[in-house]
Amino acid sequence: MPLRLGETAPNFDAQTTEGDINFYDWAGDQWVVFYSHPSDYTPVCTTELGRTAQLKEDFEKRNAKVIALSVDDLESHHGWVKDIEDTQSVTMNFPIIADHDRKIAEAYDMIHPEADEKFTVRSVFIIDPQRKVRLTLTYPPATGRNFQEILRVLDSLQLTDNYSVATPVDWKEGEDVVVSPSIATEDIPDKFPKGHKEIRPYLRTTPQPNR
């Protein structure tokens, strides 16, 4: 069964390009972006891994760390890392899991039933510090992932966890947010002293409260 939002992300032990890990211990009290690749030496994924390395500081600002997975072995991963660094002009700075027995891919439902069993679906999971799955995405083979969207979702999740707001369509850090419907309009000034707009009784906006 696929993992659903709000469910606990399975723990696992794994070999990675940065040594053996226990997933929960490695994650610590941070958010985790966990994503899979069909196999090593694939062109789109090579660009994705390079982009992730470039964004290390952006993830760190959000108390987040990244880990990738493919079902090839560790020796193959190390060879691929050299290619990524060479072609993407980066230094790899996060681990890639070697899931050669596919146990982790199966636990996270990363094996597509219509594809060769070696290949994982190109999945993305955002997992919070309580080990809960907060976002799932699945990309087709020919479409590269949008890491600005992944960072945007991290911003939204961390904001909405701490304030009674939601983020509207295409929201970016610093823009107005939507006041939760559970808050009565007359109570908004006390909770959100920066002001608000009542567009409809059910649609009220306020400046981002943590800025």
Instruction: Assess contact for 92 and 101: CB atoms under 8 A.
Output: no
Q: Is 31 helix (H, G, I), strand (E, B) or coil?
A: strand
Strands 96-98 and 64-70: parallel
With vertex at residue 158, the alpha carbon angle to CA 156 and CA 161, rounded to the nearest 5 degrees, is 100
Instruction: Assess contact for 111 and 120: CB atoms under 8 A.
Output: yes
With vertex at residue 51, the alpha carbon angle to CA 134 and CA 135, rounded to the nearest 5 degrees, is 10
Check 3, 14, 32, 45 and give the catalytic one: 45
Catalytic: 92? no
The Cα 47–Cα 193 span in angstroms is 44
Query: Which DSSP helix (H) or strand (E) runs through 57?
Result: helix 56-61
Instruction: Report the catalytic residues.
Output: 45
